[in-house]
Every structure is written in C-alpha cells, then in structure tokens.
C-alpha cells in the first residue's frame, strides 16, 4: 500500500471492499473520460477506483432489481465526504437519455445539496479542514430503467455544541465565516462587520475562500429553487446566533439580572421584539396546578438559556434546511420507485484531547457500523459455510457486540443510566452520573474510571471515564453529559421563536403554539433519539446489498506524500481489513441458490435451455457447469458456492452476450403473432367499413335528391348523417349556388362585391344607408372631380410607395378629424393594404405614425345617415374620430370605409372586425386616455345645438362642430 500511494494509486481492493487513501491533493482521475472507462465494466477488468464501486452498485440494481448501499467509513479526515461526492457524481452521470430534463433536475439537486450541507454542517477541526460534523445518509430512488427519480436525505446528530464552544485551533461551522466574509450582503443588514471580533468565531477570521464559498452556497440555494426571501430568512437566523454570542448578562442586584450587548440587532435578526427576547432570557413562566408562575433566572441560568437558544436555533435551522432539500428531491407521488441506492457518509472515529458527549455518540455510531460490517461480511459468511456443509477453517475476529451492549443495552447500558438520571426529579450533576455509571458498570472489562482504577493517574477523579472501543481506548470527560443529553429548552423560548416574523424560524418551532397551561410528555433524551436512529439505520442497511469503501488517513498532518506507518496500521486494524483479507482469501466470492442460478444462466447450455428435463435445480446446475467446464465451485445443501470472482464475471459476460439475441427472438415471434392477429382484424374491419360506408352514402344521396325535388333545386335543411362526405357535398352545393348567383355579375366587379358583402354583414338592418346601390371607387383622392389636387396626391403616394413601401391605396377621402381639445381639423384619410394613414389636406404627407389595421379594436358608427366614424385603437390613448366628406351626389362613404376595413382585418388577422352601430344620438370614444361620449346636435327643427359640459364621462360636441357635421350629414 505505501508503494501504491507514492505512485498516486490511492485505491486498492480487498475482495469487493475498496480501500481509499486520502492523497491530500488534487488528482486528475475523476473526469468524464475516466467515467467512460468504468461504465459497464467488471471490477477486476479495470484498476481499482471509487467509480468501479459505484458502477457495480448500479449494475446490481439494474440487473437484479435489488436495493444496494455504499457504506463509507473511516477516521475523520480520511476522505469519506469526497468519496460520497464522487459516487453521487458517477450515479448522476450514468443515466439514460429518456426524460432527460427531469433527470437532470434531480441530479442537479442531489449534487447542489452537498454545497449547502457542507456550509451549515461542516467545520475545520484539528484533524480535517472540512470535517462533517453531522451524519448523512442519502437514499436515491430509481425507476425501472435505472434512472434517478428522487431521493431522501437523513441527518444524524449535528454537533451543535460547537456553536458555543470550540477547542483550540478549530473553527466553527463554515456558515458563520461565510456570512462575515468580505462580499456577504446579508451581514450588513443586521449590523455585522467582517472586521469585528465575535466570540463564537473563536480566534479564526473569515478568509477569501469563505467569500468564494458564500457565493457558491447562494448559487446552490438558487439552483435548488429556494426563494430569495427564504434565503434571507436563513442568513438572518445565522446572524441572530452570532449576535446571541455577543449578548452580556450581568447581575443587577436584588436578584435581578440585566441583558446588554446588541439586543436590538439580535431581536431584529430573529424577527422578535427586543422586550420579548430580554424577558425570555431573564426568566421563564411555569405552569403549576393550572396556574402560571413567573420565575426569574439566576446569572448562571440566564447564561445557560442564552447558549441553549443559540445551539437549538442553529440545530433546528440545519434540520429544516435538510427538510426543504428533501422536498425538492423527493420522488413525485405518481412516479414508480423500483429500487434505491443508499450512500452513507457518517462521522469517523474520533479521539481528541478532551472527548465530550458528541464524541461519545460519534464513536458509538462507528461501533454500530463496525458491528454491521462484522455481521454482514465476517460472521454471516462463516456461519453460512457451516450451515451449507462447506469445509471451512474459521477465521478469528473480534466481535464488538460487547462494546455496543455496554452503551445501548436496555436498563444496563450507559445510555439507559443517563436517561434514568435525567428522569430523576432532583437535579443530578455530572459527577453523580459518573458515580452511578461506576456502580453499575464496575465489572465490565471495556469500562473503567479513576474510581475503579485508582492507580491510573491519566484519569481525572470524578471527571473522566474510559471505554475500550474496537478502535482503541478513548477517555471521555463527563462534564456536560447531563445537559447535552437532556437537550432541553424552556417553553418560553419556543413560544418566542414560534411568534417570530421570520417565516422559516416560525416553521421550525411548531411546539411553540401550545398553550401556557398545556403540559406535554417529556421528550426523549438526545442519546435515546440517536440510539433509535442508529438502530433504524442499521436495519435499513442490513436489508440492502452492501458495498464498502474503507477510507484511510495516511498521516495526521494532512500533507501529500507523507506516510505514517503506525497510524495506517492502527486504522487497518480497527477497520477490520485484516480479517476481511483472511476471509476473502479462504472463502468464496459468490453464493447463489440453485433455482436462481439456473434461472439466470440456463441459456448458456443447450442442455438446460429453454427448460431442463431432469430431476431438479441442483442436477440442472451440475449439468450446466459440466458443459461450461467450470471447476472452482462447491455444492452446498441449498446453494452453489463459487470461489473466484472472475468466474462470476465470465458467466455474466456470456449471459450479456446472449441476452440480446434471445430478446430479439422472443420479440420477433411475439410481434409476428400480434401483427398477424391485428392484420386479420383490420382486414375484416375494412370490409365491413366499406360496405357500411357505401350503404350510408347511397341513402344520404337519395335524401338530398328528395330535398332538392321538393324545394326546386334548393336544400333548405341538410339531412343528418353523411359522414365525411357531408362537408364535401355541402361545399360543392355552396359553390354551385354561388355560381348561379354570380354568373350575371361581370368578373371585374367581384372585388367590389366582396367589400360590399363585408359591409352588408356588419351594417345591414342596422343602418338605413351605407352606399350599397352605388359604385365604390375606393381611392377618391385620385379623382379630379373630388380632389382638385389629385395630381399632387398621386405624386405623393408614388413617393411614399418608393420610400416606405406602403402598398396599394384601397380607400381615401377627405375627412374632418376631431381631437381631445374639441378642435376640428381638415385632413385626408388613406387606407392601404396594412395601415391607416392621416394625410395633410394640402401636401398629402403622412401625419404622425400610421395605425396598423390589425391594431384596430372596433369601428363605431351611427344608425342614422351621419358620416361620423370612431375607429377604436386599444393600444393608443386616442381613438380616431373622423367625419367623412363624401363626393357630391354620393351621400354615403361610411359603408365603403367599413367594408374595406372589415375585409382587410379578416385577411390580416383571421378574425372578424367588431363593428358597433349606435342607435341613438350618442357614440363612445376614448380621447386623451379618458372615456368620452360624443352627442350629435339635434335636427334644425329641434332645439339649438347642445354645448360642451365639463364632465369626465360625457363629451357634447360644441356648436361649431355641429355645424360642420351638418355639412356632411344631410340626414341630420
């Protein structure tokens, strides 16, 4: 192993267990080309690598449909977290292309979540610059194709005591330093200064790397879909925890205490009032016999409350973030979850100068995982050999069950003793707890203390106790065990945080909604909760096919190329690698039941495919192996044992080579059968269909002939039925009727007839006169009798066609245009194929920007003969209010204008133009952004013209305008 390490070969196999040595430097062995090298390859075919384990894990899941898990273990700083990242990266990349968009989203969430969890759950220790201070287990769910469809993250025992207590040379969680880095915007909001010193940061300060990671964390929040308001809430809670560390609590005399420091900023960060926070820190309210009693805190209790609030707020924040990530990555309810891969990245075994409650739980976790490894790899394997009658020389190994029972045995273990002390109505000190442990565990060979070993001067009397773990002896300090195990927080603080303006913080404390008089059951202790979660984790892992990655730390200085042989030997011993080597060398790589082996590999022999005609599965397997000439096997009572992994891989390779041809054969036969059945059904259906179609068609034609005979060639009512022939016949009939109608009309009058039809559909029976009887000449300004300057007009239009490509003029005339100031101006109107132009009456140049015909919302006219037109343009703030000036002898131009606009609008937009005809003397329009009502003056026999009234919703035409109207409104 040292020689391989010197040549940057950091991976080694022991059977299927991967041993990974942390190189403490970046190696170029994790790119896409390396992924391709391991994709679909057997482990022995390629050099050892974490990608090979990930591929083998995913192959078992896809081929056999079995749940798998990757157990990553090792000492703190040995590279467990990095190994889990590479496994996640490989699994995410090695998917199929179907539903790629959704799969890419799941991959992105799974990978991006690592950045967030490291920010809030990792810290620098004396052994590791990026140590995971929590345990993480992730289940990745896959569909039947082997593509990820979601996941779930479980977190275990965040080391929240680090928030308020740091060992020398260590840093707090990364989140605090990122928040106080140079480019952090959230810190300024709460008055935090990157250059200031804060107690919970210890002697460490933010660095340039923290600034970069702050941006990475926020990018990860954004990638996971966290709203900006939620991200602000998260950083505000982190700010509040920092500011809690700066609060000062002093004795104010007469049993009172005073709370000083940045109270206002701290309350603002937590979203509570300053007075409510001060009250919660200074005292608490108790419920006794249904009555509420207020109790002031002592100086010690107040400081304890402040620190407990800081730890609890950060712990709940971390758990809440994990819950939000789970919501982003959980599989949809309607998705099919076929199997899963679990990835465990949990604390390494820790031995510090001072080991407290957290190290006790962490090392207990490692004991449980080691016990699982012994049960799955060593003990069960050797027991199976004896059970199946295989000759075997047992390999001696240390079973750490006795250590696990020392800690978690009911009524007798250390956790049970601590829980009994917490349930005692009187306050039990840490020293009294140690005395109870000494009394109950005095005869256990893996437990000792100074009281039990008076000559051991390394143990402090009344403080230290020692447990001989499988990894070595660890001395724990009993100080703080009782408080950390109780993990209690006053109900007043829970109610305070539940009432916060910070929505995320309020969501983290649902129990704060309980009434003051309501009493609840004492919550389980921290150690009991952790023991239950470890038991559930071990049970879940035991039900899956395990793959192991054993991480080794080469030296304590985290230096590349340095090899500490003594340290490595110690790790190899307590990781159980020596026993694993012995068992693997002497044992069998694989064992399978006869029926399953036969079902999987029977296609490899002509004697067993497709079915064996012998006595049973064992005889069939014997015939199969004899035909394949495989000898490195032994026959057990119920299973076949195969010694070499290469034999398994050769069988799988041969099977994989035959499967496509077998599948193609089965598909060919079944598809041919289905095709023949479908063809016969289709042929019969076609015969029936055409016979029925001819019959129905003949009946329909007969009914049409009868209808035309009754009505002299006119079909007044189409008979029902007809199928697809009915629209064809109706179209032919309409064309025939149109031909009869139009055959007397000259061809050159058809374009004008189209316009008159459009005008008739809009104005017929709604306006008495609309020019239907006269000839529509369209471009009236080009007629010399109507416009004395027709030559100038034609020259101007020709210039516009060259410069602006306005198209062919369809309609033009003289108009009177009205504006929002009741001003009347003489203008000319021009309608081309696409737009409406207002022209100067003298030079015929366009005024302002033309109005596209497609932007016209509606056209309004009067039911009388008035030539007043309102062209509504919703996109503008002013409608076109026009008075048309018809040629002499032709009293109406409005019908022709409506016909041209309706025809072009339908051609350009595919919809019908809305034409509104007002029946009274008032019409609506929008002028200057306001809704107005234009009222025509009465006839000369009636009263004098109305005057303008200064009202916002009604706009009467002035007398001058009425006179103008009379000029071109002869009906009035």
Rg (CA), the chain: 45
Pairing of strands 17-21, 858-862: unpaired
Q: Is 909 a catalytic residue?
A: no
Would you call the peptide bond into 610 cis, given omega within 30 degrees of 0 as the criterion?
Answer: yes
Exposure string for 516-537, b = 16+ CB within 10 A, e = fewer: eeeeeeeeebbbbebbebbeeb
Give the span between the Cα atoms of 288 and 308, in whole angstroms: 24
Tell me if residue 258 falls in helix, strand or coil.
Answer: strand
CA distance 216 to 221: 9
CB 271 within 8 A of CB 258: no
Q: Give the full edge-to-edge strand order of the sheet including 545-552.
A: 11-14, 17-21, 545-552, 68-74, 339-345, 135-142, 148-156
Nearest-10 Cα torsion for 524, 530, 533, 537: -170
Q: Are 295 and 103 in contact (CB under 8 A)?
A: no
List all residues 6 or more positions away from 272 whose beta carbon is below 8 Å from its beta carbon.
496, 497, 499, 500, 501
The answer to whether residues 257 and 247 touch, using CB atoms and an 8 Å cutoff, is no
> Distance (Å, rounded) from C-alpha 734 to C-alpha 547?
78
DSSP 8-state class, residue 522 = P
* Residue 74 marked ligand-binding: yes
Lookup result for tokens 């051991």: 456
Helix axes 577-586, 565-574, angle to 10 degrees: 60
Pairing label, strands 283-288, 291-296? antiparallel
Measured between alpha carbons, how far is 369 from 120 in angstroms, rounded to an integer? 25
Rounded to whole angstroms, the Cα distance separating 929 from 618 reads: 93
User: What whole-number distance in Å separates Cα of residue 343 and Cα of residue 87?
Assistant: 8
Active site annotation includes 348:
yes
**Rounded distance, CA 297 to CA 136, Å?**
37
**Strand extents, DSSP E, 726-879:** 811-818, 824-831, 835-840, 851-852, 858-862, 868-872
* Catalytic-labelled residue, pool 95, 132, 155, 502: 132
Q: How far apart are CA 243 and CA 498, in angstroms?
A: 19
The answer to whether the annotation marks 274 as part of a ligand binding site is no
CA distance 926 to 870: 9
> 911 burial class (0-12, 13-18, 19+ CB within 10 angstroms)?
exposed
Selecting among 12, 73, 81, 477, the annotated active-site residue is: 81
Structure tokens belonging to residue 440: 């109950």
For residues 401 and 370, what is the distance between their CA atoms, to the nearest angstrom? Answer: 9
Neighbouring C-alpha atoms within 13 Å toward the C-beta of 757: 10
864 is catalytic: no
* 128 counts as catalytic: yes
DSSP state of 930: E
User: How would DSSP label each residue in 91-133?
Assistant: HHHS--STTHHHHHHHHHHHHHHHHHHHHHHEE--SS-TTEE-
**605 assigned to a ligand binding site:** no
Q: Is 78 annotated as a binding residue?
A: yes
Of 83, 181, 89, 184, nearest to 132 by C-alpha is 83
Backbone angles phi, psi at 181, to 5 degrees: -75, 175
Q: Which of 855, 859, 817, 851 is CA-nearest to residue 832?
A: 851
Q: Which of 350, 358, 367, 381 is catalytic?
A: 350
Which residue among the candidates 12, 22, 68, 76 is catalytic per the annotation?
A: 76
Annotated active-site residue 77? The verdict is: yes
- From 12, 20, 42, 77, active-site residue: 77
Active site residue 131: yes
Of 113, 125, 131, 479, which residue is the catalytic one? 131
Catalytic pick from 121, 146, 271, 348?
348
Residues 6+ apart with CB under 8 A from 722: 696, 697, 700, 729
| Catalytic entry in 114, 119, 128, 305 | 128
β-bridge pairing 858-862 and 914-918: parallel
Catalytically active residues, by annotation: 76-77, 81, 128, 131-132, 348, 350
Which residue positions form the known binding site for ATP? Answer: 74-81
């Amino acid at each position: 192993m040292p020689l391989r390490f010197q040549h940057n070969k950091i991976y080694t196999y022991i059977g299927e267990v991967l041993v990974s040595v942390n190189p403490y430097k970046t190696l170029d062995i994790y790119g896409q080309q390396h992924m391709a090298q391991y994709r679909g390859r057997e482990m022995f075919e390629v050099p050892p690598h974490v990608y090979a384990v990930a591929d083998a894990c995913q192959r078992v899941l896809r081929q056999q449909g079995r749940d798998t898990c990757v157990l990553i273990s090792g000492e703190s700083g040995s590279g467990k977290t990095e190994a889990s990242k590479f496994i996640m990266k490989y699994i995410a990349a090695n998917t199929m292309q179907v539903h790629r968009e959704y799969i890419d989203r799941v991959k992105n969430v799974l990978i991006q979540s690592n950045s967030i969890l490291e920010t809030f759950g990792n810290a620098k220790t004396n052994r590791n610059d990026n140590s995971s201070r929590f345990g993480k287990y992730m289940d990745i769910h896959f569909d039947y194709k082997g593509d990820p469809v979601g996941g779930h993250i479980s977190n275990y025992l965040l080391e929240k005591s680090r928030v308020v207590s740091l060992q020398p040379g260590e840093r707090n969680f990364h989140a605090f330093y990122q928040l106080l880095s140079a480019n952090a915007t959230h810190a300024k909001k709460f008055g935090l200064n990157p250059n200031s010193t804060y107690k919970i940061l210890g002697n460490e300060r933010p660095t340039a790397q923290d600034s970069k990671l702050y941006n990475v964390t926020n990018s990860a929040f954004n990638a996971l879909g966290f709203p900006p308001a939620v991200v602000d809430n998260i950083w505000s809670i982190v700010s509040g925890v920092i500011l809690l560390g700066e609060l000062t609590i002093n004795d104010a005399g007469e049993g009172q205490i005073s709370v000083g420091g940045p109270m206002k900023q701290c309350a603002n960060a937590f979203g509570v009032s300053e007075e409510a926070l001060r009250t919660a820190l200074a005292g608490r309210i108790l419920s006794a016999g249904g009555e509420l009693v207020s109790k002031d805190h002592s100086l010690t209790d107040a400081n304890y409350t402040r620190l407990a609030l800081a730890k609890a707020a950060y712990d709940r924040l971390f758990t809440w973030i994990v819950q939000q990530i789970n919501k982003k990555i959980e599989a949809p309810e309607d998705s099919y979850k076929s199997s899963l891969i679990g990835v465990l990245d949990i604390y390494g075994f820790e031995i510090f100068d001072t080991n407290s409650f957290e190290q006790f739980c962490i090392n207990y976790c490692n004991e449980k995982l080691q016990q699982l490894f012994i049960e799955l790899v060593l003990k069960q394997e050797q027991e199976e050999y004896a059970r199946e009658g295989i000759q075997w020389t047992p390999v001696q190994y240390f079973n750490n069950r006795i250590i696990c029972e020392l800690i978690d045995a009911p009524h007798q273990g250390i956790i049970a003793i601590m829980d009994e002390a917490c349930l005692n109505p009187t306050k039990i000190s840490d020293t009294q707890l140690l005395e109870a442990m000494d009394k109950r565990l005095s005869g256990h060979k893996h437990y000792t203390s100074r009281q039990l070993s008076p000559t051991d001067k390394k143990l402090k009397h009344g403080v230290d106790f020692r447990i001989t773990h499988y990894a070595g002896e660890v001395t724990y300090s009993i100080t703080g065990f009782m408080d950390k195990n109780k993990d209690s927080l006053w109900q007043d603080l829970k109610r305070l945080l539940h009432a916060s303006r910070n929505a995320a913080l309020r969501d983290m404390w649902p129990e704060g909604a309980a009434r003051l008089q309501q009493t609840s059951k004492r919550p389980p202790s921290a150690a009991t909760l952790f023991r239950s979660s470890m038991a559930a984790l071990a049970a879940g892992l035991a039900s899956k096919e395990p793959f192991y990655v054993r991480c080794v730390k080469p030296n304590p200085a985290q230096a590349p190329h340095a090899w500490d042989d003594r340290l490595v030997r110690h790790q190899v011993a307590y990781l159980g690698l020596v026993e694993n080597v012995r068992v693997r060398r002497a044992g069998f790589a694989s064992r399978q039941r006869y029926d399953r082996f036969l079902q999987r590999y029977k296609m490899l022999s002509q004697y067993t495919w497709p079915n064996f005609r012998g006595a049973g599965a064992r005889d069939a397997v014997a015939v199969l192996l004899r035909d394949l000439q495989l000898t490195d096997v032994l026959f057990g009572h119920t299973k076949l044992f195969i010694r070499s992994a290469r034999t398994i891989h050769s069988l799988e390779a041969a099977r994989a080579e035959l499967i496509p041809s077998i599948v193609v054969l089965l598909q060919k036969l079944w598809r041919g059968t289905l095709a023949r059945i479908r063809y016969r059904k289709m042929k019969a259906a076609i015969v029936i269909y055409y016979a029925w179609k001819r019959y129905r068609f003949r009946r329909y034609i007969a009914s049409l002939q009868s209808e035309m005979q009754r009505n002299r060639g006119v079909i007044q009512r189409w008979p029902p039925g007809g199928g697809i022939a009915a629209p064809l016949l109706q179209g032919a009939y309409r064309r025939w009727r149109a031909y009869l109608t139009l055959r007397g009309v000259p061809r050159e009058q058809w374009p004008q007839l189209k316009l008159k039809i459009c005008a008739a559909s809009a104005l017929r029976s709604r306006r008495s006169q609309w020019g239907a009887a006269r000839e529509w000449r369209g471009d009236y300004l080009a007629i010399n009798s109507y416009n004395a300057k027709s030559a100038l007009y034609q020259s101007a239009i020709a210039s516009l066609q060259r410069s602006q490509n306005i198209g062919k003029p369809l309609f033009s005339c003289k108009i009177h245009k009205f504006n929002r100031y009741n001003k009347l101006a003489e203008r000319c109107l021009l309608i081309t194929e696409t737009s409406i132009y207002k022209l100067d009456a003298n030079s015929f140049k366009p005024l302002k920007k033309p109005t596209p015909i497609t932007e016209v919302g509606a056209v309004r006219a009067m039911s009388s003969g008035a030539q007043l037109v309102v062209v509504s343009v919703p996109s503008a703030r002013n409608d076109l209010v026009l008075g048309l000036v018809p040629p002499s002898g032709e009293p109406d131009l409005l019908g022709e204008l409506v016909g041209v606009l309706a025809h072009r609008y339908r051609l350009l937009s595919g919809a019908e133009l809305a034409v509104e005809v007002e029946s009274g003397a008032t019409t609506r329009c929008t002028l200057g952004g306001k809704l107005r009502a234009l009222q025509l003056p009465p006839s000369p026999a009636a009263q004098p013209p109305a005057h303008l009234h200064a009202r916002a919703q009604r706009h009467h035409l002035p007398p001058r305008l009425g006179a103008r109207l009379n000029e071109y409104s002869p009906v009035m």
